[in-house]
Amino acid sequence: MPPSPQQTSVQNEFIRWYNSMPTVTKAIMTASTLLTVSSTLRLIKMDRLALIWPLVLKKYEFWRLLSTFYTSHLNLSFIFNLYFMYMYSTRLETEVFQGQTADYVYFLLLTNGTQLVLDKVFENVFFLSGALVPSLMYLWSRHFPNQIVSFMFGLRFKAIFLPWVVAGYEYVANNGRVPYSTLYGIGSAHLYYYFKSIYPTRGGRRYLDTPRFFQRLFRSSTGPRRSPGAGQVWPNQQQQRQQENQERTNFMGGHSWGRGHRLT
């Protein structure tokens, strides 16, 4: 039986939406969906994707260093996480990193690497999918700090406070359990932002300029947005005001923001 016109319309709309996503956002969302669904359907055992350090260091199962960021349990928390991944990744890729795909990929690589180090040093949470969104959220909040956002129960505040409100909510919602993944995400993005945007303005070296081979590998079709010798051009004040005047973001509660997952 052929699909109804309504089904065809929905399918076409989804395809158009998927194809309209920025390149990097599409890649990380696709990876998250495929790995999570595959592990839920037991096409891949979940413990084969978890970040288990002895297996990485002694058995050389290096794929775990990547799969840990894109594997989760298929539940309501995952749906919320995927939504916010789409929202913040799209905003970063089309605003902060507009026309600079290589810079955005380099940001993800550096923050993911930092999160792995934090996980090894402090607390192994096995799945760092809960660290990815907070890192995106934190960097976005630093570039649009004055945008008003809404949280649970109509609580409104400036975006600069959002990552910390989320971390506090996670702590309370989980009966005082430290939200390691969320903190790893915030910490890694803060280090990136500091050494990328603050430290150089105080006379420090530019340690985080994207390597040339990365720029060649991820050439953007939209053209560069660089000033000579200055590195990445961040949004100016007028662009920030325009962003802040857009529709306020509503952050729904009742979901897990990134406490990580322990194997059962």
| Residues above pLDDT 70, as percent of the chain | 80
Of the listed ranges 11-15, 201-205, 241-245, the least confidently predicted one is 241-245
Alpha carbons 114 and 205: distance in angstroms, whole number:
20
Radius of gyration for the chain, computed over Cα atoms and rounded to the nearest angstrom:
19
Alpha carbons 212 and 87: distance in angstroms, whole number:
29
Of the pLDDT bands very low, low, confident and very high (cuts 50, 70, 90), residue 6 is: low
Q: Report angle CA 98, 22, 235 to the nearest 5 degrees.
A: 20
Q: Are 163 and 186 in contact (CB under 8 A)?
A: yes
Q: What is the topology classification, in CATH, of domain 5-250?
A: Rhomboid-like fold (1.20.1540)
Of the pLDDT bands very low, low, confident and very high (cuts 50, 70, 90), residue 247 is: very low
Render the burial of 80-97: b for 16+ CB within 10 Å, e for the rest.
bbbebbbbbbbbbbebbb
Of the listed ranges 4-8, 30-34, 226-230, 249-253, the least confidently predicted one is 226-230
pLDDT at 259: 45
Mean pLDDT for all residues in the chain: 84
Which segments within 119-261 are labelled E, that is strand? 148-150, 156-158, 226-227, 231-232, 249-250
pLDDT at 12: 84
State pLDDT tens for residues 183-213. 999 999 999 999 999 999 999 899 999 999 9
Q: Are 244 and 111 in contact (CB under 8 A)?
A: no
Alpha carbons 31 and 15: distance in angstroms, whole number:
17
Q: Are 259 and 165 in contact (CB under 8 A)?
A: no
State pLDDT tens for residues 69-118. 999 989 988 998 999 999 999 999 999 999 999 999 999 999 999 999 99
Which residue, 115, 151, 121, is CA-closest to 258? 115
Of the pLDDT bands very low, low, confident and very high (cuts 50, 70, 90), residue 65 is: very high
Provide the Cα torsion 247, 164, 109, 208; round to 10°.
Answer: 90
Query: What is the rounded average pLDDT of the residues 242-254?
Result: 46
